[in-house]
Chains A and B, each alone.
Chain A
Amino acid sequence: MIEKVLHALAEPRRRDILYLVRDGELTSSAIASHFEISAPAVSQHLKVLEQSGLVVVRRDGTKRYYGIRRDGFAELKQYIDRFWDDSLLRLKEAAEEEERRRNGTNKQ
């Protein structure tokens, strides 16, 4: 999960796209009109953003509307936050076990 988010954010144009869709949905052609790069290149960026979970797509007929997915940002932070929570609890358990072993005879 995290790899996709980090990868998505690495490209300046993708950050620009996120900024463009911050206030509401835009079609891919509206987004493309802000850039000098080709439409297929913009589509590629949109695809990466969609896969990362930072952007969400809504289809309406032949049009595709892109909007920001707030949860995507929260997930990145939560991932790291959870990682440390889980790790520290395991550390506590392992170190306390080690301490008891060191103290040897009277405990354990």
Chain B
Amino acid sequence: MAQTNSEIIVKEIFIEAHPETLFSFFTDADKMVRWMGRQILLEPKIGGKYRIDVNGSDIAMGEYVEIVPYEKIVMSWGWEKSKIVPPGSSKVEFRLTPKENGTNLVLTHYDLPASEIPSHQQGWSHYMPRIKEIAEGRDPGVDPWTELAMH
């Protein structure tokens, strides 16, 4: 079900409901709240904003970027008061494909923190893959930028 790395998350799930039924769960706050968050405000049109109180302390915010009825929803995504993933800085795409008696749903969360950090003088894009290596317990090798970076 999951295929992930540090910058993108992809998930796929089969749902026994037609795309017409499923689609409304992305555009209707009363339905969305049944699967995501505790309290939801949304404006389901391109450029429309949404606010999802995920758990009482984390607030997800962004805008609808793309709405293709029964096929696709793209929302910009971020967290309130977050400088690194400010509202709308990453992107979540939901693709609905009819399959047999239901819908195959593929979620792709792009631009997760790693790739969206504003670059510092040394360049975060240089650091993040290395930090990922470290985080995963591998040795990233000698940093060619060591001398430049820290002094």
Contact = CB atoms under 8 A, between A and B. Distances in A.
A8 B22 CA distance: 37
B112 interface: yes
B41 interface: no
Contacts of B151: 34
A10 B82 contact: yes
B21 A91 contact: no
A10 B112 CA distance: 13
B83 A7 contact: yes
Interface residues of A, number: 39
B112 A80 contact: yes
A73 B132 contact: yes
Contact of B31 (A68, A93, A94): A94
A10 B116 CA distance: 10
The size bracket of the interface on B is 35 or more
Interface stretch (A14-22, A37-45, A57-65): A14-22
Contact of A88 (B11, B83, B127, B130): B11
Nearest to A93: B35
A91 B15 contact: yes
B79 interface: yes
Contact of B79 (A6, A73, A88, A89): A6
A6 B86 CA distance: 9
Contacts of A83: 54
A48 B136 CA distance: 22
A15 B120 contact: yes
Given A20-B150, A84-B11, A74 B135 contact: yes
A18 B117 CA distance: 15
A96 B15 contact: yes
Contacts of B148: none
B11 A2 contact: no
Contacts of A88: 11, 13, 35, 105, 107
B81 interface: yes
A19 B22 contact: no
A106 to B, nearest CB: 13
A77 interface: yes
Interface of A: 2-3, 6-7, 9-10, 12, 15-16, 18-20, 22, 34, 68, 70, 72-74, 76-77, 80-81, 83-85, 87-96, 98-99, 102
Given A22-B134, A34-B150, A70-B137, 15 more contacts: A6-B85, A9-B113, A10-B83, A10-B84, A12-B120, A16-B122, A16-B150, A19-B150, A70-B135, A80-B9, A91-B15, A91-B22, A92-B15, A96-B16, A98-B24
